[in-house]
Amino acid sequence: KNQVEQSPQSLIILEGKNCTLQCNYTVSPFSNLRWYKQDTGRGPVSLTIMTFSENTKSNGRYTATLDADTKQSSLHITASQLSDSASYICVVSKPGGAQKLVFGQGTRLTINP
Amino acid sequence: ETGVTQTPRHLVMGMTNKKSLKCEQHLGHNAMYWYKQSAKKPLELMFVYNFKEQTENNSVPSRFSPECPNSSHLFLHLHTLQPEDSALYLCASSQDLAGQETQYFGPGTRLLVL
């Protein structure tokens, strides 16, 4: 069964600290993996996309990693800011088009001052 | 902003009402999507349109009826909904249906069915 599991479900950290969110998937065949950020009251916004041959991708303070052998990805946030409070969604795509996406349930991250 | 707008942002309706959700994208994209997002559940793809033609209907109940008059506009017509249909309905667009194309999401319509 094609699934994407994210952990933890929710996370609270202090401003300025680092954190890592996890994504494990069983989707096969694999095309690419994307991390989205969804602020409260808004739609998801793409942060990074990685294909099979890429094992790391950065976007400012966000760094995503991918281990295609173990089917795991992580999103590391450095020096967190209050604006990082959001849900982070891991999405794995199968070949065959944008409609072949498998979404994780998201990790709710709260940054406290 | 992402270039995808949705109206209304909030909607409360009774089970016997008929309402419509509207989505408009200003990005020149060819593909548009409707998703349902329920609390603590993954996004569920409902419908996909490419060049105004419906290419995917993920076993969505007939009480949800999509309409795509052109590549820039997408509607979701609602009638005789159930309380379990209460959710955030997200519209998205992408340049085309290729797997590496980024989907741009609108802010969503928060729907409450009483």
Please indicate whether, in this complex, the C-beta atoms of A45 and B2 are within 8 angstroms of each other: yes
Chain mean pLDDT for chain B: 92
CB A50 within 8 A of CB A32: yes
* Predicted pLDDT at A99: 66
pLDDT > 70? residue B102: yes
Residue in A with minimal Cα distance to B106: A43
* Predicted pLDDT at B49: 92
Q: Which residues of A sit within 8 Å Cβ distance of B? A: 4, 9, 31-32, 34, 41-46, 49, 51, 89, 93-106
**SS3 at position B84:** helix
Burial environment of residue A97 by CB neighbours within 10 A (0 to 12, 13 to 18, 19 or more): buried
- Considering only CB atoms, A99 lies closest to which of B42, B48, B100, namely B48
- Region B68-76: what's the mean pLDDT? 95
pLDDT > 70? residue A12: yes
Residue in B with minimal Cα distance to A48: B102
Nearest to B3, CA basis, from B35, B28, B31: B28
- Considering only CB atoms, A42 lies closest to which of B31, B92, B107, namely B107
For an interface test with A, the pick among B90, B100, B110 (most A C-beta atoms closer than 10 Å) comes out as B100
pLDDT > 90? residue A16: yes
**Calpha distance A71→A64 (Å, rounded):** 13
pLDDT > 90? residue A1: no
* Predicted pLDDT at A98: 65
CB B35 within 8 A of CB B23: no
What proportion of chain B, given as a percentage, has pLDDT over 70? 99
Give pLDDT tens digits for A30-71: 989 999 999 998 999 999 999 989 999 999 999 999 999 999
